Amino acid sequence: MSVKLNNVECCGCGACENICPKHAITMAEDKETFRYPSINKDLCVECGLCEKTCPLNYDDYIKPDGVKALVGINKSADVNFKSSSGGAFSSIYESYLQDGYIIYGVKFDENLQPVHDAAGTAEECEKFRKSKYVQSLDNGCYKKAAADLKAGKKVLFSGTSCQCAALNAFMKALRINTENLVTVAIVCHGVPSQRMFEEYVKEEERKQNAKIISYSFKNKAPHDNGIDTRSSYIIFDNGQTSIRTTRNDPFLRGYYLRLFYRPSCGLCHFARQERVSDITIADAWGINKQYPELKPVEGVSLILFNTAKGKEKLAEISEKMNLYEVSTDWALNSQALFSRPTEMNPNRQRFFELWEKTDFKKAVYRCTRPTFKKTVLFALRPIKKALKKIKK
Ligand SMILES: Cc1cc2nc3c(=O)[nH]c(=O)nc-3n(C[C@H](O)[C@H](O)[C@H](O)COP(=O)(O)OP(=O)(O)OC[C@H]3O[C@@H](n4cnc5c(N)ncnc54)[C@H](O)[C@@H]3O)c2cc1C
C-alpha cells in the first residue's frame, strides 16, 4: 500500500509526508507548481499509514441532520473589518483560548507564504485572520497537533475541509485520543500554488521597486464608490499602499476567474452536504433576502455547528457575535460548494502552457481577455444607468 502518486485528485495536504515513520515521502512540485508526494521506494516499508491518512480515502462524514446553522457578524467592528466574512473565526478562537486550547490556523510567514502554525495567545491568533487565497504549507501541523494531543493539551485546528479530513484521519491512523480536539473547516472553492503567489509577488515588487510587507485578500476598505469583496490591500516597504481589484491585478483576476486552481479542487471530495469538522465557517451570501439588515458585501459569516462538541461553545460564541437563526436547508443550499466542486476555467491548460513561456501577468491577461460582447456591454453601462435614472 502507498499513496497514489501524482493522482489528479491529490489535494496536496501533506499528511502522508507527516505520518511516514521512515521519512520516505517528500512533497515535490509538479510542472504546474503544485506539490505532490514523492516516495523513496528504498525507504518505504509499506506500512500503509500514508493511505490511512489520505483524505481521498476519507469516509467519516457527518450527516447534515444534526447540523445547527447560524449567520452573523462579530460585535466588534474592528474584528469584522480585519476578517474575511463576519469575524466568526475570531469569536471561535477567543472562546477556545479562554479554555487553554492551542489554536492552529494559517498565517503569512515573513516571506509572504501562507503556512499553518500554532498559537497560544490572542495576539498570535490575529495573524490567522483573513483568507489567504493560496494553498497553505502544512509546516508539519498534523504531526505537531498529534504531539500536542498526546501531551494532554487541547487543540483547535482550522483549515480547509481536505486539511481537516486529513487531520482526523491522521489521528485515527495513529490511534490518538481526539477528545480534546475541535476542528473548524473553512469552506473553500480552490487554491492556487505557493509558487504562483511567489512569482506574482516578485513581479509586483520589481514593478514597484519596493518590497510587499503586507498583503490582505478580501479588502473591506471602500474604494471606487463602495466595497469590492474581490479586492486586496497591499502595503509596500516604501510606505506606498494599493487597493487592487480583478481589473488591475493579475492574481485576483486569475483567482476569481478560477484560472489556476489545483486540479483536485475541481474534483473536491468535500464539496458536499456531509461535513468533516465540528464547525464549518463560510460567507453567508444571499442572507440579505432573509435579513435585509445584514450586508454580505461587508462580510457576514455562516456558521455550521456540526457535532455536539462543536455546539459546546455556542453560548460563548453568541456573546461575541450578533447571530441570526437560519434553517440548515437554507444554509446547505446557500452556495454551490455544498453540493459540487468548483468548475475550472476552460482556459486553465492554456494558462499553464503560456506561463511556461512568458511572465505570470501576461499569461493571466491573455487567458482572461473579455469577449467582444462583454466589452461592448461594459462600455454601455453608463448609458444604461443614465436611462434608468431618466425612467425613474
Ligand atoms: C482558499 C479559500 C477559499 C475560500 N472560498 C470560499 C468560498 O468559496 N465560499 C465561502 O463561503 N467561503 C470561502 N472561504 C472562507 C471565507 O473566505 C472565510 O475565510 C471564512 O468564512 C472565515 O471568515 P471569518 O470572518 O470567520 O474569519 P477570518 O478571520 O477571516 O478567518 C480566516 C480563517 O481561514 C483560515 N485560513 C486562511 N487562509 C487559509 C488557507 N489558505 N488555507 C486554510 N485555511 C486558511 C485561517 O486559519 C482562519 O481560520 C475561502 C477561504 C479560503 C482560505
**CATH code for position 142:** 3.40.640
What is the distance in A from the centroid of ligand 1 to the CA of 188? 7
If we measure between CA atoms, which residue out of 242, 233, 286, 249 comes closest to residue 82? 233
Ligand 1 neighbour 200 (Cβ under 6 A)? no
Q: Band of the pLDDT at 383, cuts 50, 70, 90?
A: confident
Ligand 1 binding pocket includes 133 (Cβ within 6 Å)? yes
Query: Which residues span the domain enclosing 45?
Result: 15-57
Please indicate whether residue 92, judged by its CB atom, sits closer than 6 Å to ligand 1.
no
Give pLDDT, residue 61: 98
The DSSP line for 36-104 is EEEE-TTT-----HHHHH-GGG---PBPGGG-EEEEEEES-HHHHHTSSSSSHHHHHHHHHHTTTEEEE
Number of structural domains found in the chain: 3
Classify residue 3: in a domain, yes or no.
Answer: no
51-68 pLDDT, tens per residue?
Answer: 999 999 999 999 999 999
Cα(85) to ligand 1 centroid in Å equals 8
Same domain? 125 vs 231: no
226 & 81 share domain:
no
Which residue has a Cα nearest atom 1 of ligand 1?
A: 133
Average pLDDT over residues 285-306: 96
Taking all residues of the chain, what is their mean pLDDT, rounded to a whole number?
95
Please indicate, yes or no, whether residues 145 and 269 belong to a single structural domain of this protein.
yes
How remote is the CA of residue 221 from the centroid of ligand 1, in Å?
A: 18
| Same-domain status, 174 and 290 | yes
> In this predicted model, which residue has the larger pLDDT, 211 or 223?
211
Looking up cell 516516495, which residue turns up?
A: 39
Query: Phi and psi of 310, rounded to 5°?
Result: -60, -30
Q: Is the pLDDT of residue 376 over 90?
A: no
**CATH at residue 51:** 3.30.70.20
Q: Are residues 117 and 164 in the same domain?
A: yes
Looking from the CA of residue 281, the nearest atom of ligand 1 is 21
Q: How far is the CA of 385 from the centre of ligand 1 (A)?
A: 34
Last residue of a domain, one of 294, 312, 338: 338
The pLDDT value recorded for residue 1 is 45
What phi and psi, each to the nearest 5 degrees, are found at residue 71? Answer: -125, 160
Same domain, 176 and 86: yes
Query: 147 and 240, same structural domain?
Result: no
Note whether 172 and 283 are same-domain residues.
yes
* DSSP one-letter code for 369: P
- In this structure, the strands spanning 279-283 and 301-305 are antiparallel
Residues with Cβ within 8 Å of 91's Cβ and at least 6 positions away in sequence, in order, are: 74, 79, 317, 320, 321
3-state secondary structure of 367: helix
Bin 237: left if φ > 0, else alpha if -120 < ψ < 50, else beta: alpha
pLDDT > 60? residue 3: no
